[in-house]
Amino acid sequence: DVVMTQSPLSLPVTPGQPASISCRSSQSLLHSDGDTYLSWFQQRPGQSPRRLIYKVSNRDSGVPDRFSGSGSGTDFTLKISRVEAEDVGVYYCMQGTHWPLTFGGGTKVEIK
């Protein structure tokens, strides 16, 4: 199985400041079809997960443009350009290239 490793585990951020979350996979996520299937999810306290990003860098509808995804191969990053109070929660990466699907352990974003 592909192991997804996120860092840091916890990320205290001052509102208005940027934040960056790393996600590394134990195998390349480049699919034989040429695409890379890495998604990012946000889970606010008490809520279900919500997808933010798919295929590394494509934002879902309604996701603020302060969220961006980048990376390739085995190394990926989710960036929040200016953190807002509503961004508090746990963020997960997930790979969809290989079965079984696997998730990173999560990064908890909190406001300083």
Partner 1 sequence: EVQLVESGGGLVKPGGSLRLSCVASGFTFSNAWMNWVRQAPGRGLEWVGRIKSKTDGGTTDYAAPVKGRFTMSRDDSKNTLYLQMNSLKTEDTAVYYCTPWTAVRSLDYWGQGTLVTVSS
Q: Which residues bind partner 1 (CB under 8 A)?
A: 31, 35, 37, 39, 41, 48-51, 54-55, 58, 60, 90, 92, 94, 96-97, 99-106
Least Å from the CB of residue 26 to partner 1: 16
Closer by beta carbon to partner 1, 75 or else 106: 106
CB of 19 closer than 8 Å to CB of 112? no
Task: Specify which residues 11 forms β-bridges with.
Answer: 109
48 CB neighbour count, 10 Å cutoff:
7
Q: Are strands 10-13 and 107-111 parallel, antiparallel or unpaired?
A: parallel
The alpha helices in 20-84, defined as continuous H runs, are none
Task: Specify which residues 70 forms β-bridges with.
Answer: 77
Closer by beta carbon to partner 1, 67 or else 92: 92
Least Å from the CB of residue 70 to partner 1: 17
| 71 residue type, one letter | G
Least Å from the CB of residue 65 to partner 1: 19
Least Å from the CB of residue 74 to partner 1: 17
